Amino acid sequence: MHTRASNHVVCEFLLSLRPGAPVRAGVVWCVPVIGAADGPDADLLEEALGQGTSKVTEVGEQGRVGSVRVAHGGGRHLLVLNGEQVAGAKQDRVFNSSFIVPPGIEVDLPVSCVERGRWRRASDEFTSLGTTVSSRTRISSVRSVTDSLSRGRGYEGDQGAVWREVDGYLRRSCTPSATSAFADGFRSRSREVEGLLSGLSPCPGQVGLAAVLGDTMCLFDAFGSADLYRRGWKMVARGVLAEVYDDGKESSDPVGAVTRALRGLASLPLSRTPAPGCGETVSGHSAAYALSAVCHEGKLYHALAGGT
């Protein structure tokens, strides 16, 4: 079946979006991103793990720091999110990009460690923590992995940089952690995060969320359909709200910041890389922005981007 090139799909998607009414959450503005309600459907990893239709395990008995094994037994494609955390097994991990896994397939997916001080089996399978890592950690990883893809090195993340981000997050959240685990920092902020979460419930047509600090859109996270966002928004929003943001200049126009950033992202030179599982990763970066998206059969499933 002939489909449009994935880079054109991503550009058209970005240009079709519009920002909604912003919501203040501490020092950051959260701006809903409105798009077409119809789009691709998929199981989300958090759902599939909870229902027992999929599982995530170490790669073999010994395990491999940079990979985990995802076995998907559901009836439709599985969407794994860039920055999504899984906990347990030999150490907590975070996915280096968004991936699509077809039904009945077992595939090894690239990850980074977000728990430096543990390499011992706590469980046979990973569980979902129901959140991504924080905004700063996610975008740092997007830049690193996008650069790696552009150099033909695959989905390698800068593990040292990830550990530094986790250490920085634990310091900012004033959280001691015996194993230097990002999850400990998140748990220390969970009451505040859950208190703010209800203010970000999806509005009609919402497909994503943008976070604006000062005049910068520091994070943009969007799904290919409003239904996917409706089911996955809490994971995205928790990662945004869990960040400990520096006090910066007050944003006078968060909607304008998002509008400008979407245009900037749509003008990035983009490259395509065949992704493990199925589909393609579409990625690009500049001095101002970094973007990573996953597409399959002419449809965008998920996009993550941020500015500096």
276-292 pLDDT, tens digit each: 999 999 999 999 999 99
pLDDT score recorded for residue 218: 93
Write out pLDDT tens, residues 56-105: 999 999 999 999 999 999 999 999 999 999 999 999 999 999 999 999 99
β pairing state of 54-57 and 93-95: unpaired
pTM (predicted TM-score) = 0.95
pLDDT score recorded for residue 27: 86
Q: Which residue has the higher pLDDT, 268 or 248?
A: 268
pLDDT score recorded for residue 60: 95
Write out pLDDT tens, residues 175-201: 999 999 999 999 999 999 999 999 999
Asked whether 55 and 99 are in contact (CB, 8 A), the reply is no
pLDDT over 60 at 2, yes or no: no
pLDDT over 50 at 1, yes or no: no
d(CA 7, CA 235): 26
Write out pLDDT tens, residues 121-139: 999 999 999 999 999 999 9
pLDDT score recorded for residue 250: 72
**Nearest in space to 238 (alpha carbons), one of 101, 118, 81:** 81
Q: Which residue has the higher pLDDT, 54 or 5?
A: 54
Write out pLDDT tens, residues 15-53: 999 999 999 998 899 999 999 878 899 999 999 999 999
Q: List the 43-44 sheet strands across, edge first.
A: 43-44, 78-80, 99-101
